[in-house]
Amino acid sequence: MTIQVALVGTGLVGSAILGQLALPTLAKHCLLVSLSNSKRTLFSPGGIPLPLPSPDHVQSQGEELLLSQVVDKLKSIKDKAEKTVLIDSTASSTVAESYPDILQAGISILTPNKLALSSSAALFARIQETLAADPSVRLLHEATVGAGLPIISTLNDLVRTGDKVKRIEGVFSGTLSYIFNHFSPPSAPSPPPKFSDIVARAKELGYTEPNPHADLNGSDVARKLTILARLLPETPIPLPEGYQSVPTSSLSPEGLEEVEDGDEYVRRLADSDYEFESLRRQAQDMGQVLRYVGVVDVEKGIVKASLETYPATHPFATSLGGSDNIIAFHTERYNRPLIIQGAGAGAAVTAMGVMSDLLKLV
């Protein structure tokens, strides 16, 4: 089978996807016909050779095309292969809002972009209606939750085989995992690290967004919870506004929401170190740790993202390292929680999640 591939987005994850598309196991099935950055598109029905001659190849050789024009070009060559897919490796709301049109053109979508599936119920409904109208078209999004971890596929398998999911609970943010693994470990170091220092270090390592407010406000976790909740046969809460309908505890101190510069944000975050240290000390005195978790509780009808305490012996305390994610599925079929754990962030593992979806089409 030959799959025609169009990649939109050539950043860190997009570059990792290009590297994996060049691997023999994928290259024998795939023909890269289109490659787009935020300004230009390189389109070649005969295939774009990999690896690219230079990092700026698209910018220097491509042309200015609207996304709708790229879709039209893909539609014109769709009959030349068994499958045509668009990989959305952006964080663009414009691309996300175009999903119904892309799918309606008979082009499947693979994506780590959470926006389309975690935004308004109206957009989600349009996507679902389009998919229902043409079963040959797919929208696969393993990498939207847990990067390369098999979270989406596991949940789908549980639901499709008739198991009843009672509760999903976990540490869904690699960034917040790193921060609290160091700030509130099971055995606290002396002297304890300052919260702002750990956030600064996470920023230096590239674990946070350019402005850590985007991580500390919890919206990323809320988006992932929305995606999972919508995969259940009965969504516990309607979530009409998607992730904005999820009760979310922000860790971003009041007054810093409008600070746009990431470095200034971290500097001013130090003013709140005392409050964070007080929370850490209270948890430690009870033999507990702090973890930022997301919960989809079907039985109680709750979806929420919040900072919680767990016993220092709990898997959320002892099993995590670095920027790991850990997700526990509580179901009727499993007597004990089904736990998935591992690297929940990084370009290579995120690209792997996208490529695993691509192989499902072969």
Contact criterion met (CB below 8 Å) for 150 and 141 = no
The DSSP annotation for 148-192 comes to TSSHHHHHHHHHHTT--EEEEEEE--HHHHHHHHHHS-SS--SSP
Same domain, 165 and 49: no
Same domain, 195 and 301: yes
Distance CA 39, CA 64 (A): 6
Tens of pLDDT, residue by residue over 103-132, are 999 999 999 999 999 999 999 999 999 999
- Spatial CB neighbours of 335, under 8 Å, sequence gap ≥ 6: none
Q: The tokens of 168 are what?
A: 């999903």
Q: Is 9 labelled a binding residue?
A: yes
Q: The tokens of 300 are what?
A: 């109680």
Q: Is 301 labelled a binding residue?
A: no
CATH number at residue 56: 3.40.50.720
Q: Is 14 labelled a binding residue?
A: yes
Residue entry with tokens 């099971």: 186
- Find the distance separating the first CA and the last CA of the chain, reported in whole Å: 6
Same domain, 74 and 211: no
Q: Is 114 labelled a binding residue?
A: yes
Same domain, 127 and 244: no
Same domain, 143 and 166: no
Active-site residue identified among 224, 300, 304, 360 = 224
Q: H or E element: which one contains 311?
A: strand 302-311
pLDDT of residue 351: 95
Q: Is 11 labelled a binding residue?
A: yes
Same domain, 169 and 283: yes
Same domain, 66 and 119: yes
Q: Is 248 labelled a binding residue?
A: no
Question: Could you give the number of structural domains in the chain?
Answer: 2
Domain ranges, residue 55: 3-147+349-360
Same domain, 38 and 112: yes
Task: Give this prediction's pTM.
Answer: 0.94
Q: For 110-141, give one letter per residue: b (16+ CB within 10 A) or e.
A: bbbbbbbbbbbbebbebbeebbeeeeebbbbb
Same domain, 109 and 23: yes
CATH number at residue 335: 3.30.360.10
Q: The tokens of 319 are what?
A: 């099993």
Q: For 242-256, give one letter per residue: b (16+ CB within 10 A) or e.
A: bbebbebebbbbeeb
pLDDT of residue 88: 98
pLDDT of residue 175: 93
pLDDT of residue 235: 66
The number of angstroms, rounded, from the C-alpha of 78 to the middle of its chain's C-alpha atoms is: 28
Same domain, 202 and 122: no
Same domain, 110 and 169: no
The number of angstroms, rounded, from the C-alpha of 100 to the middle of its chain's C-alpha atoms is: 20
Name the 3-class secondary structure at 49: coil
pLDDT of residue 209: 87
Low-confidence ranges of the chain (pLDDT < 70): 235-236
DSSP code of 296?
A: E
Q: H or E element: which one contains 340?
A: strand 338-343
Same domain, 11 and 84: yes
- Spatial CB neighbours of 5, under 8 Å, sequence gap ≥ 6: 21, 30, 31, 32, 33, 34, 85, 87, 358
Active site residue 75: no
Contact criterion met (CB below 8 Å) for 114 and 197 = no
Distance CA 111, CA 140 (A): 7
**What are the Cα distances from residue 281, in Å, to 183, 184, 213, 277, 285?**
11, 9, 23, 6, 6
Tens of pLDDT, residue by residue over 150-181, are 999 999 999 999 999 999 999 999 999 999 99
Contact criterion met (CB below 8 Å) for 341 and 324 = yes
Distance CA 221, CA 325 (A): 11
Residue entry with tokens 């050539």: 10
Distance CA 280, CA 291 (A): 10
